């Protein structure tokens, strides 16, 4: 199983570890697959490349508020 996750490049390593562990655990619980049968790819994407609707790049002009 291949899972691809797009995320902002500002995310620290600890967040990446936490999200991959959570994805693995939840998929194993939900689908009953082996935790070793999963490939998770975290792809950093510049914030200005995200659109949250309306075809606008909401983060292109300002820093995220999180």
- pLDDT (tens digit, 9 = 90+) per residue, 10-30? 899 999 999 999 999 999 999
**Contacts for 30 with CB less than 8 Å, ≥ 6 apart:** none
Contact 50, 59 (CB under 8 A): yes
Q: What pLDDT does 47 receive?
A: 85
pLDDT digits (tens, 9 = 90+) for 31-44: 999 999 999 999 99
**Domains of the chain (ranges plus CATH)?**
2-49 (3.30.429.10)
Q: What is the SS3 assignment for 40?
A: strand
Contact 49, 7 (CB under 8 A): no
Of the candidates 17, 26, 20, which has an alpha carbon nearest to the alpha carbon of residue 4?
Answer: 20
């Amino acid at each position: 199983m291949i899972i691809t996750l797009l995320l902002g490049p500002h995310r620290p390593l600890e967040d990446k570890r936490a999200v991959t562990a959570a994805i693995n655990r939840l998929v194993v619980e939900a689908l009953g697959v082996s935790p070793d049968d999963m490939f998770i790819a975290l792809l950093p994407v510049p914030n200005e490349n995200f659109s949250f609707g309306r075809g606008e790049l909401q983060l292109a002009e300002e820093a995220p508020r999180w």
